[in-house]
Amino acid sequence: MLHTSLRLAIAVSLLSLAAACDGCSDRPGVEVERESLPVDIDLTGNTGDDDGSGGTDDGGDGDGNGNGGGNGSGDGEIVGGEGEGEGEGEGEGEGEGEGEGEGEGEPPQPELICSDETFQNGQRVPPRILLIVDRSGSMNRTATGYPGTKWEATQDTVGAVVTELNAEAAFGLMAFPATGSADLCATGNVNVPMQDNAATAIDQSLTPMTASGATPTAATLRRARTVLDGLPAVGGDRAVVLATDGGPNCNLALDANTCRCTPGTECSPTNPGTDADGNGSVRTNSAPANCIDEDAAATAARELNDAGYPVFVVGMPGIEALEDVMNRLADAGGTARAGAIRYYDASTADALSDALADAALRITTCRFDLRAPVASASDVTVRIGGQVIANNPARTSGWDLVDDDTVELFGATCTAGATAPGGVVINACR
């Protein structure tokens, strides 16, 4: 095929010839109609080869360059208007073409649809809170900041907090290890079923209870999941408050020779079966029961939170050597606080009271379940009294998305939301 540049050159030459032949129509035997000058040129004869390649671009941005050339010569007939002529042409050319292109294209994103969800505190259904209380042998010890033993402080404080919130939430109680069992690692059972106005029932259950045994935290959290699953779907939010002074243990599948051991106990298989509190063991292989069972406990807390039941962790004196374990439980339970200590540090009796009250306040007032999940916090806007509240991942104030369908207010913002006349308005985009 005739190279495009050669075709254009011939066309231009013919146009120039026509323009130069102005008046040729006066010459005998010559007629020119400029309007009918040819656009297509037929050149017969041998043609040269033209080869070149170019780049491609797929989907995104790409660059491609290519040049081509060829040789050709021949005699041909040019037809245009009413004239005929003969011509010869020779051309030589060389060309190479290379091209590369790369690109990525992303499909168009669907447009998000945003809507307001208004939460009025007076219209909220009272939440259902399951109190899981550690009554292991170490709770019989005294501690600085506590007027008596840790167990005595727990009995008094839990009773007082439930009494204060009696009209604002339903409560249930599980103590672990289970009461009435000779097994030091007996999984906690329900002592008081979930109910409204539970203060009297919980106080009556805790008062005669004593502390003894080990700390089967993981197994008790797994049972708590079954208990909460069994509650009617219609009702307030479900949550767990875990109060403990010891690391989770009682997993006999762990290796007593290599595991991390509960502080103050022996993990060797030669353990005689009597701990510092004088608790004799009825197990023939009690030593593995003293291994810290943090993996299983964190998994159980995470499964509760994934099911929609956040786990609030309260650590009492004696837990200091296991802060990392308590932090991990708080993270897994979806309730981590700001700072290096992410669980509630109940280092004194007053701190225990404040911790339990604050955890209950967060559940009853400051956590809001959205109608459907959102992709990220950037898809959420929170307003209180018409003012936009800043997202604060540090969780010292403001709000944060604690899971994909739950917004929680923190610090002073929680208090403001609890008393705002117009409630809390959350705009969520999906």
Does 219 share its domain with 284? yes
pLDDT surpasses 60 at 428: yes
Does residue 104 sit within a domain? Answer: no
**Cβ–Cβ < 8 Å for 288, 251:** yes
Does residue 101 sit within a domain? Answer: no
Structure tokens at 348: 């004194």
Residue 246: the pLDDT is 85
CATH code, 319: 3.40.50.410
Which of 342, 366, 390 is the endpoint of a domain?
366
Does 293 share its domain with 405? no
Residue 104: the pLDDT is 60
Does 287 share its domain with 139? yes
Does 383 share its domain with 359? no
Range with lowest mean pLDDT among 4-8, 105-109, 293-297: 4-8
Residue 368: the pLDDT is 87
- pLDDT tens for each residue of 326-338: 999 999 999 998 8
Q: Which domain holds residue 70?
A: 4-53+66-96
Does 186 share its domain with 44? no
CA dist., res. 315 & res. 43, Å (int): 96
Helix axes 294-306, 323-332, angle to 10 degrees: 20
Does residue 349 sit within a domain? Answer: yes
Confidence of residue 113 (pLDDT cuts 50, 70, 90): very high
Which residue carries 């009492």 as its tokens?
Answer: 316
**Cβ–Cβ < 8 Å for 315, 216:** no
Residue 94: the pLDDT is 54
Structure tokens at 330: 């708080």
Cβ contacts of 334 within 8 Å, gap of 6 or more: 305, 310, 311, 402, 403, 406
Which of 366, 387, 415 is the endpoint of a domain?
366
Q: What is the mean pLDDT of residues 101-106?
A: 57
Task: Let me know the angle formed at the C-alpha of 100 by 96 and 101, rounded to the nearest 5 degrees.
Answer: 145
pLDDT > 70: percent of the chain: 69
Which residue carries 């208007």 as its tokens?
Answer: 81
Confidence of residue 170 (pLDDT cuts 50, 70, 90): very high
Residue 345: the pLDDT is 93
Does residue 359 sit within a domain? Answer: yes
Does residue 390 sit within a domain? Answer: yes
Three-state SS at 242? strand
- CB neighbours (10 Å) of residue 19? 9
Does 89 share its domain with 178? no
Residue 359: the pLDDT is 83
Does 339 share its domain with 374? no
- pLDDT tens for each residue of 308-324: 899 999 999 988 899 99
Q: What is the mean pLDDT of residues 192-213?
A: 96
Does 197 share its domain with 236? yes
Strand segments, DSSP code E, in 182-286 are: 189-195, 238-244
Residue 240: the pLDDT is 96
Which of 96, 118, 148 is the endpoint of a domain?
96
Strand pairing class (170-176; 97-100): unpaired
DSSP 365-377: IIEEE-SS--S-G
Strand pairing class (189-195; 170-176): antiparallel
- pLDDT tens for each residue of 52-70: 344 334 434 444 444 444 4
Confidence of residue 346 (pLDDT cuts 50, 70, 90): very high
Does 239 share its domain with 168? yes
CA dist., res. 302 & res. 311, Å (int): 8
Does residue 76 sit within a domain? Answer: yes
Read off the amino acid at residue 304: L
Strand pairing class (367-369; 344-345): unpaired
Does 358 share its domain with 375? no
Confidence of residue 144 (pLDDT cuts 50, 70, 90): confident
pLDDT surpasses 70 at 182: yes
Q: Which of 117-121, 128-132, 260-264, 409-413 has the highest mean pLDDT?
A: 128-132
Does 177 share its domain with 253? yes
**Cβ–Cβ < 8 Å for 244, 237:** no
More confident site: 52 or 369? 369
CA dist., res. 293 & res. 248, Å (int): 5
DSSP state of 364: I
Q: Which of 136, 157, 132 minimizes the C-alpha distance to 346? A: 157
Residue 80: the pLDDT is 38
Range with lowest mean pLDDT among 157-161, 291-295, 358-362, 386-390: 358-362
Alpha helical stretches, state H, 264-409: 294-306, 323-332, 349-361
* Start-to-end Cα distance in the chain: 58
pLDDT surpasses 50 at 396: yes
Does residue 343 sit within a domain? Answer: yes
Strand pairing class (170-176; 128-134): parallel
- pLDDT tens for each residue of 216-241: 999 999 999 999 999 998 888 899 99
Residue 106: the pLDDT is 66
Q: Which of 231, 26, 243, 202 minimizes the C-alpha distance to 126? A: 231
- CB neighbours (10 Å) of residue 7? 15
pTM of the model: 0.66
pLDDT surpasses 70 at 245: yes
Does residue 61 sit within a domain? Answer: no
Number of domains in the chain: 3
Q: What is the mean pLDDT of residues 41-56?
A: 41
Does 397 share its domain with 343? no
